[in-house]
Structure 1
Amino acid sequence: MDEDKVSSRVLVVEDEEGIQELLRVTLQRNGFDVRCEGSVESAEAVLQTWGPQLLVLDWMLPGKNGLAWCRMLRRREETRKLPIILLTARGEEGDRVHGLESGADDYLAKPFSPRELVARVNALLRRSYGGTAAGRVRLGGLQVDLRAHRVYADEVQVHLGPTEFRLLRLFVTNPERVFSRDMLLDQIWGRQSFVEERTVDVHIRRLRRGLEHHGYAQIIETVRGEGYRCSALGFQREVVDER
C-alpha cells in the first residue's frame, strides 16, 4: 500500500464480524489505516493509545451501546471534535435525528454501499481537517507537500530525513493535538517495533533543527509530562485539496 495514503486512521466499532470485515477491507483498499473493535470497552483503549482521526460507530453494541458512548465522547475535551459516523440498521427519520442530536457528525444506514461509506468518510475528514484528499498543508510560510514528501519554508526547501518528515506530517495534519511518546512510536515506527521512547526525543530534536534554520522550530511544542504537539497558534493554516 502507498505509504502516503496510510495517513488517516479510522477506528471501526462494530460487533457483527461480516460487517466489520467489509468495513475493514473497504477502508483499507481506499488508503486508510484501520483498527476494528467489537465493543465500546475494547475500543476505549484503542481510542486512548492509537489516536484515530475518525470513528465509525455502530449504534447497537453489546454492553454499552454506541449512541451512549457517542454522547460520552462529546462531553470529553479530548474527543469533543473527533469526527463520528454512526452506523445502524435504524433508518427512520426520527432515528437519524436522534443519532445526530447525540453528537454524531454523519449517519449511514445498513445495508450501505461501500462507495457511499468511503465518500462519507472522505467528506467528513475534509470538513474536519483536510483528510486524505489533502495534497498540501500550509502553516504561515511553512508548506508541507504530503504526497511529494517535500517541505518548504518561505519557498526555500527544508531538508528533512524520512522519519522527521513523517513526524512533521503527523503533526501538521493534527494541529494542537498532543501526542504522547507511545503514540508517536506507534504511528511512526509501528506497533511491532522495539524502538525506545528516547528515540522519539532524538528525532524531535532533529526535526526542530531542520526547521530552526528557517525560523519554524517553535511550531513543535513540548507539553510537559504529556508529549508533543504542533502549535498552529499565530499561523494561518490552509489545507489544499489536490485530488
Structure 2
Amino acid sequence: MSSDSTPARNWFDQGGSAYARFRPEYPPELAAFLASAAPDTGLAVDVGCGNGQLTQLLAPHFDTVVGLDPSADQIAHAAPNARITYRCAPAERLPLADGSASLITAAQAAHWFDLPAFYREVRRVGAPGAVLALVSYGVLRLEPALDERFQAFYRDGIGPCWPPERKLVDSGYATLDFPFQELSAPALQIRLDWRLPEFLGYLSTWSAVRNAREAGREDVLLGFADEISAAWGDGDTRRAIVWPINMRIGRL
C-alpha cells in the first residue's frame, strides 16, 4: 500500500479477513513452551481459535490439533494444515471425547467465555496431567514519540467504547478465577515492525472500534487516524510495536 493511501479506510475493514491480515502473530517460543509443559504431544485444542494464529503454531508440536471457534467467518479465514481440524463450537460445549486433550489453550478469548461452564468442559476433555493455558497480550507500546498519543487514545478516546471484559485483558487475566495448579511461564512478547496502514488495520479489528462506529462516533476514530498519521510521517515507514504476552497456565 502506498504512503499516499488514505489510512482511515482500514478502520472499516471488518470481519475475519481483517483479523487474518492484521492481528499480531504469537512467537514460536510460546507454542514450544506450551508443548513442553503438556504431558504428551497427542492432542492440543485451541478454544476460541479465531483464524488459527496460535493453532498453527501448535501444529508442529502435536500429532493432532483441533481449533474451535463459534464464528464460521473466523474459521473460514483459517489457513489449512494437515494436522489441524477446525470446527465451529462454543467454549462451553467442546465437541471432544472425555480425557482426550493433553493441552487446552485459549488465546485472547477467555474473557468472552462463561468460565465455570468452560472449566467443566476442560476437566471433562483433559487427559490426566493435561495443561490449560489462558493466553492474552496486553496493550501495545509504540516508539516514545508516538506512544503518548496512542495511550491517550486507548485510555480516553476509545476507552469508553470497550466492553467490560477488556479490563480482564488489561490485567493480564490476573483477576480471573483460575482453580488449577498454577505453573510459572516465561516472559514473552510479540514484536512487529509495521507500516501505518497495518497499524490502523489492526486497530480496525478492535471491538471498541466496532462499538464506536455503531454509536456514531467515527469522528473519534478518524480524528485519531489523522493525528497519528501526522506524527508517524511517511506511511510506509516501519515502526516497532510491542505487545507483552500474559498467561495463566495450570495443570489439571
Give the alignment's TM-score, normalised by structure 1: 0.31
- Greater length-normalized contact order (CA 8 Å, ≥ 6 residues apart): 2
